[in-house]
A and B are shown apart, each in its own frame.
Chain A
Amino acid sequence: MTAPALSLAHVRRVFGGVVALADLSLDIAAGEIVALVGDNGAGKSTLVKIIAGVLPPSGGRILLDGTEATMTSPADAQARGIQVVHQDLALADSQPVYMNLFLGRELTKGPLRRLDRRRMIAETERLVQALDVRIPSARAAIRDLSGGQRQGVAIARATHWASRVVLMDEPTAALGVAERERVERIIAGLRARSLAVLLISHSLDQVFRLADRICVLRRGVQIGVRRAAETTPNEIVGMITGAA
């Protein structure tokens, strides 16, 4: 058996006295989509930030393809093939779409290593076209885009650079119906690229449409993990609220 692409073992995070994440263990295989659900403040974004190298864990271990990984910065996580769509998107608003897509990995040309804007713009246009993200232009500033278009840019960036794990923190929160369906097609398409996907969503419909397994968090505590095919929305709601 091959080791899971991403393996979390007893991950824990404390903010001062607040236990945001108590003891979470979860494996995600390559080509698998796992949904993480829970009410506001359950600790979902905290887990994403830990895997993304934004926050250090207070305890526990993270393994990538079976090898322990200590990530002290987002650059570390990216170098290991992890990409994130953050809940707040993390885009540079005054910069154009193509600079955001290539931020930190800009293409250069010539001995002076000048920015190769033409190539970055061309690649951006190709990419947004392939993902069917509808933006006015690759040169448009992020602040001139709609909320849904911004989300499209963030998703295009993450899926373009990921080689191992994609973390999506409410990627369709601001989207209309048609845009949401497009993003869901993109997410489903990540299976074929053998990426491990952790999807955070407040929409159980979406979770059941996309996920292979569902992990439930309640106030930082891992309540359980279910196969999507073997559970019902009612059971998941009960686990989220603690009513069952």
Chain B
Amino acid sequence: MLRAPASLRGVDPARYVVYLGFLLVLGGFAVALRNDGFLSAANLLNIVQGATPVTVMSVGTVFVLTAGEIDLSIGSVVAVAALVGAIVLRGAPWWAAAAAALLAGGGIGLVNGALVAYLRLPSFLVTLATMGLLAGVARWLTDLRSVPITDDIFNGLFGSGALFGVPSLVLWTIATVVAGHFALRETKFGAHVLALGDSAAAARAAGIRVRRLRMQVLALSGATAALAGVLYAGRLNGARYSLGETDLLTVIAAVIVGGTRLSGGTGSVPGALVGALLMEMLNNGLILMGLAVSEQMMVRGVIILVAVALTLRERRV
């Protein structure tokens, strides 16, 4: 027999902290910067576009963390993929360049995944190693030189273009977030990722191919990092070894603040989007407030700490 009503304990208040924090920071900047055009449409659009690469990476990272793994190599994959795309673009059309970049990122993720799944190495150590290795590859590929991109289609599609008046970076944000949310919430793949991060033994006992799933998740993370690299390259009209260098921490902060559990089993793609927008809004607002770079870094660190503390505090049992 079923006893009504369902308990409310299933509602996790931590999930909604990010939305509240987002509104608070938005409101704070709106008041503090009311004369600096913070709330202007142009500036808000800037924030969304500035957040696009981190948002795209966050979608892959939501899957990785939800599955109970971690991918530290995403920042380096951004640079390698962007450089691969820019180099291929010298002698091939835009689509071949984009495909090459995505294949490079997905391939790197697949190698990470194979090492984790079949050699049973912890993803933390595997991706820590590939992070360093790929940072070296990114420097070696062009001998530290940046590669300009002059292909208008590439730069438009992945950078400054627009469709029906909507900037292409905004479209990429919407597309990856919608696809990621759908995959996590509405498909067997997502259900299996959630179960895997919750209890690998339970997932395996239920007949889920756990090793293949771990590989798929890390490949996905490599692919989204590569897409982020392509989007950087399109926006900046060129690729450089330093692209994505500082994004790893921003991505992880955005995803955790967005309600994905570092220990796996719970994840939210919309939460990660809001987390990424929050991070970019902090960047944007602190610059508009005229803070020096050193001050920006400190303030951002404190705010992230508060946000993460609020998010995680609720979940400790």
Contacts and interface: CB of A to CB of B under 8 A. Distances in A.
Question: Do A and B assemble together?
Answer: yes
A139 B199 contact: no
Interface in B61-77: none
Contacts of B207: 73-75, 77-79, 104-105
A84 to B, nearest CB: 7
Interface in B33-66: none
B219 to A, nearest CB: 20
B119 interface: no
A9 to B, nearest CB: 25
A58 interface: no
Contacts of A90: 199, 201-202, 205-206
Nearest to B264: A94
Given A90-B206, A92-B198, A95-B194, A135 B2 contact: yes
Interface stretch (B3-11, B79-87, B121-129, B243-251): B3-11
Contacts of B10: 96, 139-141, 144
Given A75-B207, A93-B199, A136 B3 contact: yes
Interface string B1-34: 1111111011000000000000000000000000
Given A115-B188, A139-B6, A144-B7, A134 B201 contact: no
Given A91-B202, A92-B202, A136 B2 contact: yes
Contacts of A128: 2
Contacts of A132: 1
Contacts, number: 110
Interface in A86-139: 86, 88, 90-96, 99-100, 103-106, 108, 112-115, 125, 128-129, 132, 134-139
B198 A95 contact: yes
A129 B1 CA distance: 5
Contact of A99 (B3, B191, B209): B191
A115 B2 contact: no
B202 A74 contact: no
Contacts of A129: 1-2
Contacts of A52: 205
A187 B201 CA distance: 24
A115 B193 CA distance: 14
A136 B6 contact: yes
A94 B203 CA distance: 12
A84 B205 contact: yes
A94 B265 contact: yes
Contact of A137 (B4, B192, B194, B266): B4
A91 B265 CA distance: 12
Interface in B147-201: 182, 185-188, 191-192, 194-195, 198-199, 201
A150 to B, nearest CB: 11
Contacts of B182: 112
A56 to B, nearest CB: 14
A189 B245 CA distance: 62
A54 interface: yes
B208 interface: yes
A94 B14 CA distance: 14
Interface string B258-271: 00000001100000
B198 A94 contact: yes
Given A90-B205, A144-B9, A95 B195 contact: yes
B204 interface: yes
A137 B2 contact: yes
B195 A99 contact: yes
Nearest to A157: B206
A84 B207 CA distance: 11
Given A104-B206, A137-B2, A137-B6, A115 B199 contact: no
B203 A134 contact: no
Nearest to B204: A74
Contacts of A100: 202
B199 to A, nearest CB: 5
A135 B207 CA distance: 25
Interface of A: 52, 54, 73-75, 77-79, 84, 86, 88, 90-96, 99-100, 103-106, 108, 112-115, 125, 128-129, 132, 134-141, 144
Interface of B: 1-7, 9-10, 182, 185-188, 191-192, 194-195, 198-199, 201-209, 265-266
14 contacts: A73-B207, A75-B208, A92-B199, A94-B265, A99-B194, A103-B191, A104-B192, A104-B208, A105-B207, A108-B188, A112-B186, A134-B3, A137-B4, A140-B7
Given A74-B204, A103-B206, A139-B6, 16 more contacts: A73-B209, A77-B207, A78-B206, A90-B199, A90-B205, A91-B199, A92-B199, A92-B202, A93-B198, A94-B265, A105-B207, A115-B188, A132-B1, A135-B2, A136-B4, A137-B7
